[in-house]
A = this chain, B = another copy of it.
Amino acid sequence: MKYSTIVIGDELLIGQVTDTNSGWIARHMAPLGWESQSVRVIADDASEIKRAIDEAFSLTDLVLMTGGLGPTKDDITKATLCSYFGGEMVLNEDVKRNVDEMFARRGIPMNRLTASQAMVPSSCQVIQNEVGTAPIMWFEIDGKVLVSMPGVPVETQTMMERAVIPRLVKHFHSDVDIEYRTFVVIDYAESALAEKLERFEQEMPDYIHLAYLPAQGVIRLRLTGTHSDSKSLNDDMERLSKQLHKLLGKSIIADADKPLSQIVGERLRELGLTLSTAESCTGGNIAHVITEIAGSSDYFMGSVVSYSNDVKHRVLGVDDTVLDTCGAVSQPVVEQMVNGACAVCHTHCAVATSGVAGPGGGTPDKPVGTVWMAAKVGDIVTSKCLHFTGSRAQIIDRATTHALIMLLKLLK
What is the interface of chain A, defined by CB distance below 8 A to chain B? 10-20, 22-27, 30, 36-44, 48, 52, 55, 70-74, 108, 111-114, 131, 153-154, 157, 180, 182, 189-192, 194-195, 201, 209-215, 220, 222, 224, 257, 277, 279, 282-288, 290-292, 294-297, 300-308, 310-311, 314-315, 344-346, 357-361, 389-394, 396
Contacts and interface: CB of A to CB of B under 8 A. Distances in A.
Contacts of A70: 190, 212, 214
Contacts of A27: 14-16
A189 B72 CA distance: 11
B25 A391 contact: no
A41 B13 contact: no
Contact of A288 (B10, B36, B284): B284
A113 B303 contact: no
A14 B26 contact: yes
A38 B6 CA distance: 11
A71 B194 contact: yes
A49 to B, nearest CB: 11
Contacts of A26: 13-15
Nearest to A209: B74
A282 B42 CA distance: 34
Contact of A23 (B15, B30, B295, B357): B15
A389 B55 CA distance: 36
B16 A222 contact: yes
Contact of A14 (B30, B210, B315): B30
B315 A344 contact: yes
Nearest to A21: B15
6 contacts: A14-B36, A70-B190, A71-B194, A72-B194, A153-B394, A285-B288
A301 B297 contact: no
A191 B72 contact: yes
A20 B23 contact: no
Contacts of A17: 23, 213, 215
A18 B20 CA distance: 7
A166 B308 CA distance: 40
Given A286-B284, A304-B304, A39 B24 contact: no
A88 to B, nearest CB: 24
Contacts of A18: 18-20, 23
Contacts of A73: 194, 201, 210
A210 B72 CA distance: 10
Contact of A11 (B154, B213, B345, B361): B213
B287 A297 contact: no
Given A16-B257, A302-B304, A305-B305, A295 B72 contact: no
A140 B214 CA distance: 31
A30 B13 CA distance: 10
B308 A284 contact: no
Given A131-B389, A192-B111, A211-B10, A22 B36 contact: no
- Most B CB atoms within 10 A — which of A11, A214, A302? A302
Given A11-B213, A154-B391, A302-B304, 9 more contacts: A74-B212, A111-B191, A154-B390, A279-B284, A283-B288, A284-B288, A287-B287, A294-B358, A303-B303
